[in-house]
Chain A
Amino acid sequence: MPRKVVITGLGATTPIGGDVPTMWANSLKGVSGARAIEADWVEKYELPVTFAAQIATPASEVLSRVEAKRMDPSTQFAVVASREAWRDSGIEDIDRDRLAVAFATGIGGVWTLLDAWDTLREKGPRRVLPMTVPMLMPNGPAAAVSLDLGARAGAHTPVSACASGTEALHQGLELIRSGKADVVMCGGAEAAIHPMPIAAFASMQALSRRNDEPELASRPYDTGRDGFVMGEGAGALVIEAEEHALARGARIYAELAGTSVTADAYHITAPDPEGLGATRALKAALFDARAQAEDVVHVNAHATSTPVGDKPEYTALKAALGHHLDQVAVSATKSQTGHLLGASGAVEAIMTVLALHERTMPVTINLDDQDPEIPLDVVTAPRELPAGDLVALSNSFGFGGHNAVIVLRSS
Chain B
Amino acid sequence: MASNEEILAGLAEIVNEETGLAPESVEMDKSFTDDLDIDSISMMTIVVNAEEKFGVRIPDEEVKNLKTVGDAVNFISGAQA
Which residues of A does B touch, CB under 8 Å? 64-66, 69, 126-127, 129-131, 134
Residues of A within 8 A of B51 (CB): 126
A130-B45, A130-B48, A131-B41 known; 18 new pairs, CB 8 Å cut-off, are A64-B20, A65-B20, A66-B18, A66-B19, A66-B20, A69-B18, A126-B48, A126-B51, A127-B48, A127-B52, A129-B44, A129-B45, A129-B48, A130-B40, A130-B41, A130-B44, A131-B45, A134-B41
State which residues 19-62 of B face A: CB under 8 Å: 19-20, 40-41, 44-45, 48, 51-52
Please give the distance in Å from A311's CB to the nearest CB on chain B. 49
How far apart are the CA atoms of A69 and B15 in the complex, in Å?
13
Please give the distance in Å from A70's CB to the nearest CB on chain B. 8
How far apart are the CA atoms of A130 and B41 in the complex, in Å?
6
Size bin of chain B's contact surface: 10 to 19
Residues of B within 8 A of A127 (CB): 48, 52
Interface residues of A, dominant DSSP:
helix
Residue of A with least CB distance to B52: A127
Residues of B within 8 A of A69 (CB): 18
Q: List 20 A-B contacts (CB under 8 A).
A: A64-B20, A65-B20, A66-B18, A66-B19, A66-B20, A69-B18, A126-B48, A126-B51, A127-B48, A127-B52, A129-B44, A129-B45, A129-B48, A130-B40, A130-B41, A130-B45, A130-B48, A131-B41, A131-B45, A134-B41
Residue of B with least CB distance to A128: B48
How far apart are the CA atoms of A318 and B38 in the complex, in Å?
59
Residues of B within 8 A of A134 (CB): 41
How far apart are the CA atoms of A65 and B20 in the complex, in Å?
8
Residue of B with least CB distance to A129: B45
Residues of A within 8 A of B44 (CB): 129-130
How far apart are the CA atoms of A131 and B41 in the complex, in Å?
7
The 8 closest A-B CB pairs, nearest first, are: A66-B20, A130-B44, A130-B41, A129-B45, A131-B41, A130-B45, A66-B19, A126-B48
